[in-house]
Amino acid sequence: MIDRAVLVAPGASATRDHPSLLAIEAALAPLDVPVARIDLPSRKATAVVVGMVREAAAALAVRTGLAPTRIVLGGRSFGGRMCSMAVAEGLPALGLVLVSYPLHPPGRPEKARTEHLPLLSVPCLFVSGTRDSFATRAELEAATTAIPGPVTHVWIEGGDHGLRGRDRDVAADVRDWVVGLPG
């Protein structure tokens, strides 16, 4: 019996067919965990994009017959951030998967995207490269201390923001974390 599903969104310049999202879906398929991959327009107002996350999460809940609290939300970079903002605004979720979370624009740590982090009470998985220009390890670990929910960090040694060539590693980490969430 299906007891959870996953909704993932790509980074700002990618589509729902990004290799990392396809790898996450492939890693969860043998475990019968449904995955919905969605596109998000990065050139729309944040409120519009967050609304699209809400609609997609509701549609996945209906399609799978699961309560909204049984859906894991997230994605890469921009997509993950939009999902985290939706949860911070009250969208129910089982957890958040945040791959290459864009803590700040490259080289601009003073422009941290952290205002909503204290509102995240669900378990959060951050999968990041150790050479990510959008957040150093120290910056991300310090920022996520504001999250009241449980936080797990997985560091991909030598990985940059794109984590190119590491899709299977990322997908395995996401799979293990998702299936390890309380059932």
Residues contacting residue 59 through CB under 8 Å, at least 6 positions apart:
36
Please work out, in degrees rounded to the nearest 5, the angle formed at the alpha carbon of residue 15 by the alpha carbons of 9 and 18.
Answer: 85
Average pLDDT over residues 84-98: 98
* pLDDT tens, residue by residue, 158-171: 999 999 999 999 99
At 13, is the pLDDT very low, low, confident or very high (cuts 50, 70, 90)? confident
| CA-wise closest residue to 179 among 25, 10, 17, 31 | 31
Q: Please report how many Cα atoms fall inside a 13 Å half-sphere around the Cα of residue 112, on the Cβ side.
A: 15
pLDDT at position 134 is 96
CA–CA dist 143, 178 (Å, integer) = 22
Contact of 37 with 68, CB cutoff 8 Å: no
Residue 168 is which amino acid? R
Beta bridge partners of 125: 97, 152
> Domains in the chain, start-ordered, CATH in brackets?
5-180 (3.40.50.1820)
Is the whole model's pTM more than 0.75, yes or no? yes
Q: Residue 43: how many CB atoms within 10 A of its CB?
A: 7
* pLDDT tens, residue by residue, 95-150: 999 999 999 999 899 999 999 999 999 999 999 999 999 999 999 999 999 999 99
pLDDT at position 12 is 92
CA–CA dist 126, 170 (Å, integer) = 10
CA–CA dist 3, 20 (Å, integer) = 23
Output the average pLDDT for the chain: 96
Among 30-39, 47-56, 106-115, 123-132, the least confident range: 106-115
Position with higher pLDDT, 44 vs 148 = 148
